[in-house]
Structure 1
Amino acid sequence: NEPLWLFGYGSLIWKPEIEHVEERVALLRGWHRSFCMKMTRWRGTKESPGLMMALDRGGQCKGVAFRIGDGNRRAQLDKILRREVTLKPTSYHPR
């Protein structure tokens, strides 16, 4: 019954694509943006992976917290997971 907040950084800030009832500037402690995600599709090969920005342990990251409305939480989470977790196998680990 508690509010559900989604932390956005990068493209989620300017294109969240979820219905939300509130947004606030937020600071995520313990994580920072870094070119730490190795990509072998679209940005590189297995022999020479490309890098994509993601969150890595340590430091802090400024972003936006989006509060998802109580009535459609599941639909909004499904929408964001379909958008963000598209690689198979996925490199993302939602928390």
Structure 2
Amino acid sequence: MPMMSAEETAALDRVRRRVAALAFFAVIVHGVLGLVGAAHVVAGQGRQSDAVGLLVMSGLTATIMYVGIRLILGARLFSPLWMLAAAAPTVVGFVWIA
């Protein structure tokens, strides 16, 4: 089995990080969207304070998703565009139940 060059090893590591970040995103985004959906159902039952609690949990989960993905990718944590993208489902949820 031939040895890989440093360039090939770096490229393979980059692919591994991207695949891991996508897998992490796919799992966590279901939780974020599920909490937003549950908040909508709970708000429909007249339990606004419970719906707000679920949306806050959605925001915390989205924050964990954002930080986790940035760490997996080895990217700097501060990125306003990606912060807005991570917060979008929760913001839409707040508008939706208002």
The higher-RCO structure (CA 8 Å, 6+ apart) is 1
TM exceeds 0.5?
no
TM-score by length of structure 1 reads: 0.29
Structure number with the higher strand fraction is 1
TM-score by length of structure 2 reads: 0.29
